[in-house]
């Protein structure tokens, strides 16, 4: 595992509740415009983390996986959040064909599962969040890939320390 730096930090998420709490903590530091890539295999916890983030922002309805709709929109206290799952997209040009590329210039919080499927069409992320299995739980690494993203990561580390 890479060691933590100003632009990368790893936490252990022991169970689903920890993933939800981590998403809620993310919600306290992110602000629009934010582009967050959520990386990891099927079942890694990307949708669970998104659910925690949306609930953390104050959304009290359901959060369903956008696997079939490709995008689920939310407005919470005037903050727009678009949650994407690009698993079923075969290449980035298909996003433009579907008219989805316009979302990526909106002043919103954009959460993108399977961003590699839209490569070249999404813009530069502020965070690349990678989830993977570890023991009974998950490991999450946040890589900050913009100046704003580094500031948000610093705020997240200040808030969470090394444990969650």
- Cβ contacts of residue 60 below 8 Å, gap of 6+? none
Helices within 30-97 (DSSP H only): 46-57, 92-97
Query: How far is the C-alpha of 80 from the C-alpha of 97, rounded, in Å?
Result: 23
What is the per-residue binding string for ligand ADP in 44-83, x denoting contact by CB under 6 A?
A: xxxxx----------------x------------------
Quick one: which segment of 9-17, 23-31, 73-81, 94-102 binds ligand ADP (CB under 6 A)? Answer: 9-17
Radius of gyration for the alpha carbons in the chain, expressed in angstroms and rounded? 15
**Which value, to the nearest 10 degrees, does the dihedral of the CA atoms of residues 115, 69, 72, 117 take?**
0
- Looking at the Cβ atoms of 150 and 164, the one nearer to ligand ADP is 164
**Which of Mg ion, ligand ADP, none does 48 bind, CB closer than 5 to 8 A by kind?**
ligand ADP
User: Would you count residue 50 as binding Mg ion (CB under 5 A)?
Assistant: no
User: Would you count residue 111 as binding ligand ADP (CB under 6 A)?
Assistant: no
Q: Which residue lies nearest Mg ion, judged by its C-beta?
A: 47
User: CB atoms < 10 A from the CB of 86, how many?
Assistant: 25
Residues that bind ligand ADP (CB under 6 A): 13, 15-16, 18-19, 40, 42-48, 65, 113, 137-138
């Amino acid at each position: 595992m890479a060691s933590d730096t100003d632009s990368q930090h790893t936490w252990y998420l022991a169970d689903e509740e920890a993933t939800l709490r981590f998403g809620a903590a993310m919600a306290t530091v992110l602000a629009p415009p934010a582009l967050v890539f959520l990386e990891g295999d099927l079942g890694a916890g990307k949708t669970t983390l998104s659910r925690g983030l949306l609930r953390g922002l104050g959304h009290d309805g359901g959060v369903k996986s956008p696997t079939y709709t490709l995008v689920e929109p939310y407005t919470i206290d005037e903050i727009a959040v678009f949650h994407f799952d690009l698993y079923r997209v075969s290449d980035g040009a298909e996003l433009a064909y579907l008219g989805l590329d316009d979302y990526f210039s909106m002043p919103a919080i954009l959460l993108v599962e399977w961003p590699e499927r839209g490569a070249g069409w999404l813009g530069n992320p502020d965070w690349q969040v990678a989830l993977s299995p570890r023991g009974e739980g998950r490991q999450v690494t946040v890589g900050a890939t913009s100046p704003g993203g580094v500031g948000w990561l610093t705020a997240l580390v200040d808030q969470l320390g090394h444990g969650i």
